[in-house]
Amino acid sequence: MGQVPARRTGLPRRDELDAHWRFGVTATGLDLSGKQVLLADGAKVGFDRLLIATGVRARPWPNEAEAALDGLFPLHTPEDAEGLRQRLAAGPGRVLVIGAGFTGCEVASACRELDLQVTVLDRGPAPLAGALGAVIGGVAAQMQRDNGVDLRCGVRVESLEGDGSGRLRRARLSDGSTLDVEVALAALGSIRNVEWLEGSGLAAGAWGVACDTGCRAVDVNGLVTDDVFVAGDVARCPHPVYDYQYLALEHWGNAVAQAGIAAHNMISAQSERWPHLALPEFWSTQFGTEIKSVGVPTHADHVVIAQGSVAERRFVAVYGYRGRITAAVAFNQAKWLEFYAGLIDRAAPFPPSFRTVDQSTDGHPVAAEVPERPTPQATVVVTGHGPSERRATLVRRTYL
């Protein structure tokens, strides 16, 4: 939107740190037995304690020639954001958003605020279906269409084409249609930055580096290390609310909280360490609506509108799995989520049976229609009990 320069969106640092910074040098390997990190310039850095906080990167457009077209953007770095902002400010005739996760939906919302025509494509049945399930995704779909978005679900891009100067000009779609576009966003989800850990012996894979609730890394045999810790988007840790299955969560709020736990445990005695047990939370603002979630919405078999009105887009949807509450999502009703977090934490029965001040008139549970497998566009996913489940093993090549 241009309200704040992209470079000013980082988290503030309260104090200067007495640290030795090595910017621009890539870590290429980890020697656990020698307690050393291997660097691309041939150097080695020894450690007593190591924190792995390598985060994620944007999933690239799969065709390299098309990815090089002038006008196609990912959105992960400040440079990506600034480049996209400049193109939107130039007033393109139509913007194409490929992928209707939270990033894609928020960019579509920004386009409409800027009075730009925007088309959103997604392979799934509805926007946000990978994060919230198709039922609540259907509410998001109607919200987009009501705000003038050309939303097309179940459609993918077959190819992108440019002109003789390498500028993006059109997209050919799987339904046989063609779109003339000058700017496109590839909102395809993320890839965990774990390739450098190949051969290290840690359980690192598609959903990140496995660790325990104290942020201690787990090796491929399921043993917990005591000198390697993990935090942030690259971490994958168990949660007691979800039967101690590993959660992968991509959100800055979690990264900040988990970093504090990891830092404390790295310098504390075993008996003084803390667990990271906070329920996953994330939020988004799009088309004038605040969407906020607590728990894991995709770890559910049913969903019910417990409060408010879907028609007014002011409601709380409660998710359940095998008879207990596992998540809640609020549209313009975030004040209620602390209450539902307590119900999730104590595995309260689903569906909820209490009365509220704005009881929903359509309070009947329906199938949540969540994806059978986690998608890379989901903010939080449950990835199985074992550190080696769901391909969380040694990485042999980039997971695409």
Give residue-wise pLDDT tens across range 200-251.
Answer: 999 998 899 999 999 999 998 889 999 999 999 999 999 999 989 999 999 9
Q: 120: closest CA among 189, 187, 191, 190? A: 187
pLDDT-derived band at 105 (thresholds 50, 70, 90) equals very high
pLDDT-derived band at 386 (thresholds 50, 70, 90) equals low
The predicted model gives 300-328 an average pLDDT of 95
pLDDT-derived band at 294 (thresholds 50, 70, 90) equals very high
Q: Is 284 helix (H, G, I), strand (E, B) or coil?
A: strand
| 8 A C-beta contact, residue 388 and residue 141 | no
Q: What average pLDDT does the structure give for the chain?
A: 92
| 8 A C-beta contact, residue 71 and residue 184 | yes
At residue 389, the pLDDT reads 52
Helices 78-89 and 102-113: angle between axes, nearest 10 degrees: 30
Q: Does the pLDDT of residue 399 top 50, yes or no?
A: no
At residue 391, the pLDDT reads 45
At residue 388, the pLDDT reads 56
At residue 394, the pLDDT reads 47
The percentage of residues in the chain with a pLDDT greater than 90, rounded to a whole number, is: 82
Between 309 and 377, whose confidence is greater?
309
